[in-house]
Amino acid sequence: MGVCIVGCFLRSFTLFCCAVSAVATYPAERVSEKIAEGEFETVPAVAMTDPKQSWILWREADGKLRLEDHFTLFDDPALMMLAAVGPWRLDPKARKEVADKVGLTGLEVLLTPDWNPQKMIVHGVSVADGKSIELVNCKVSEVEVSCKGLRHDAKFKKDKPRELFYSFHFPLLLRSLALRAKVAPNQTATVPLVELRLGKEGPELLESEAKVVYVGDEVLSIADYRFASKKYSIETTSKAGTLTSLIWLSGNDVVLAAQNQDRTLQRVLMSRFKKISDF
């Protein structure tokens, strides 16, 4: 009986992962050129979570870049198990208990050619009914950042040029900040930001600032390979606190890894990379 339960769960979990991949797709009618793709893997992996994420970088007809990231992330692994079982198998009481629970499945960022975010969408899935949802949709203009969330919206009026920043375990979001320090060796590059935070009530936009420093060269080990890399420290500060991250770039600015300096010290490593065109 126990073997049957485990087998049934694994089959349900496999079907769920396929469903998540399906809801995290994006419209295909846009005329875009794929210029790079790859995968990152989080180590050490947390039990009952998916440590892998796959990404694609597109160049739009107007020269802008569009970055997709596909993954599966739930705050509580138990929610992933419930979602894997399938909403159609939940009794009414269980469905009511998870009515407001969601998982993250994807991220889409529209960038200028120099990697300045102009639009950001976080995709998700509802645990209760399995439907794909748009958790937040943010747009950046010269005068403000505006975000539309599930329950409420958020706006930030800019007093000066500020970049949109979302602290998330996707190393490519840190790339443009690291490049600021690359052009200012032995100096601290300071970048004004608008920091996006996603809480239970929806999006919050905070005035923030990043301080980026080139730490030095380092030989980085990924699986059985060793890479010569440049290491950068990125410290972002807002009223919500200070976040410190490390990022490693190759000599030609490919993102090899990133690590948040929190208690978990999880590192996100490049596990696959394919360059199709220059960017």
Read off the pLDDT of residues 60-76 as tens digits, 9 standing for 90 and up.
Answer: 999 999 999 999 998 88
Backbone torsions φ then ψ of 51, nearest 5 degrees: -80, -5
The residue whose two tokens read 């198998």 is 89
For 4-36, the pLDDT digits (tens) are 433 343 344 444 444 444 444 555 556 899 999
CB contact burial 25-34 (16+ within 10 A = b; e otherwise): eeeeeeebee
Can you read off the two tokens belonging to residue 23?
Answer: 């809801």
Contact 247, 268 (CB under 8 A): no
Residue type, 15: L
Task: Report the C-alpha gap between 85 and 81 in whole angstroms.
Answer: 6
Kindly state the average pLDDT of the residues 256-264: 84
Can you read off the two tokens belonging to residue 84?
Answer: 């894997």
Task: Report the C-alpha gap between 146 and 153 in whole angstroms.
Answer: 8
pLDDT of residue 115: 94
For 40-49, the pLDDT digits (tens) are 999 988 777 8
Total domains in the chain come to 1
Range of the domain at 262: 2-275
Kindly state the average pLDDT of the residues 160-164: 96
- CA 18 centroid distance within chain: 19
pLDDT band at 78 (very low <50, low <70, confident <90, very high): confident
Contact 38, 273 (CB under 8 A): yes
* Residue 255 pLDDT greater than 90, yes or no: yes
User: How would DSSP label each residue in 61-86?
Assistant: TTS-EEEEEEEEE-SSHHHHHHHHH-
Contact 120, 48 (CB under 8 A): no
pLDDT of residue 128: 83
Contacts of 148 (CB under 8 A, 6+ apart): 136, 137, 138
List the beta bridge partners of residue 70.
Answer: 54, 106
pTM of the model: 0.83
Strand 163-166 to 188-199 pairing: parallel
Q: What percent of the chain has pLDDT over 90?
A: 63
* Residue 2 pLDDT greater than 70, yes or no: no
pLDDT of residue 263: 67
